[in-house]
Amino acid sequence: MRSPLLALMLLAAPTASAQSGREPVVGLPCEGCEAVFDGIPARLNSRARIAPGSEPGAPMLVVGKVLDAQGNPEPGIVVYAYQTNSQGIYPESPEVPNLETRRQGTLRAWVKTDASGRYAFDTIRPGSYPGEDIPEHIHFHVLEPGCSTYYVDDIMFTDDPKLTPKQIARIAKDRGGNGISTPIQHEGVWYVTRDIHLGRNIPGYPACRR
């Protein structure tokens, strides 16, 4: 039987991705974190589209900054996001061979922060899972080039009736900063902000020198 200390060490340890030349996954357990590498474009901008313009749903713009432990903006950080469609479904593509990537659906995108640490995603407002009490959300992962990759708290919305105090206590862990945002609607577009604090409350996070 494993000791509790050994179990904690195994959870915090990087996965074998480090041995394959990729940044190691930290902040374990992390189901599907390797998908951050699957399909990543060779060239990234600070603004990208998660849902195509033709995707049904209310338009949404997600903006934010990536900050280091001292609160300074961090350029060159990759942020990966994926979400459901407006019906709460992850639309899968049978052409995607990797199961975990396929489960994350086709509404996914990557950005790289600009010189001021800023990024933006154009998308639609996601739907919540049909028949479940899980609030609407957008999944977020961070990839620090040459350092590590990990998931941070999802973006969730204060105006979502499913986001109850009980759900906040259960879901929100302040991983990478607070993911709960208050949407503002203007001329038919929802605007939300999600700042990311590198390594905050991420088990096993290495303070990499970039």
CATH label of the domain that carries residue 32: 2.60.130.10
User: Cα-atom radius of gyration of the chain, to the nearest Å?
Assistant: 17
202 is a domain residue: no
27 is a domain residue: yes
Prediction pTM value: 0.89
Predicted pLDDT at 208? 78
DSSP assignment, residue 89? -
210 is a domain residue: no
In the chain, the N- to C-terminal Cα span, in Å, equals: 39
Predicted pLDDT at 202? 96
Which residues, 6+ apart, have CB-to-CB distance to 114 below 8 Å? 46, 75
Across residues 184-194, what is the average pLDDT? Answer: 97
Looking at the structure of the chain, the number of domains it has is 1
Which residues, 6+ apart, have CB-to-CB distance to 105 below 8 Å? 82, 83, 84, 85, 89, 90, 91, 92
Predicted pLDDT at 91? 96
Q: What is the pLDDT of residues 35-89, one digit of tens each?
A: 999 999 999 999 999 999 999 999 999 999 999 999 999 999 999 999 999 999 9
204 is a domain residue: no
Query: What whole-number distance in Å separates Cα of residue 148 and Cα of residue 153?
Result: 16
Confidence band for 207, pLDDT divided at 50, 70 and 90: confident
30 is a domain residue: yes
Domain of 98 in residue numbering reads as 4-197
Strand order in the sheet with 180-181: 108-112, 78-83, 138-144, 148-157, 180-181
